[in-house]
Amino acid sequence: MSVLEVVQWPDPRLTETCAPVEAITPEIETLAADMLETMYAAPGRGLAGPQVGAMVRVFVMDAGWKEGKSDPLVCINPMLMEVSEERTSNSEGCLSIPGVSAEISRPAQVQMVWTGLNGGRYVQSFTGFAAACVQHEIDHLDGIITFDHLDAETRAQVEAEYAA
């Protein structure tokens, strides 16, 4: 395993849609292990393929490890199946936009389906911070970054802070 370089905004790969993973190969297994190591070293709670230059639909997350509740997930070809109408706002940071956080409103609960490294299909509901994390990482796979959730004025202000 190795720590990978995290792609930084405004790298154009962060705005591209990722390709589905066709098969779980040794390369995908190595990528997932390296992504987990990179995420923990950063230290972050989630990391998507394009954030390490891998343009495939893979993300890793461990929403509770900083509170001592480690539960690492490797999510291949994830899709949201259901999203709640109830919304919640969280201050979100991003390893690809260091030093910047923004208040983002998202559905409070989501249900996601994904493939694990063992080839099994999983379905799970997420709430709270974990729900925001899932949505943030799927956004990366679709070429959407934190800035894209902000109104024009707020985005300009936050981008100016980042550039400074």
DSSP 57-90: SEEEE-TTGGGT----EEEEEEEEEEE-S-EEEE
Q: How far is CA 58 from CA 4, 41, 128, in A?
A: 15, 18, 22
**Amino acid identity for residue 132 in this structure:** A
Active-site residue, from 137, 153, 159, 161:
137
d(CA 117, CA 76): 8
Indicate if 137 belongs to the active site: yes
- Give the end-to-end CA distance of the chain in Å, rounded to a whole number: 34
Query: What are the residue numbers of the active site?
Result: 137
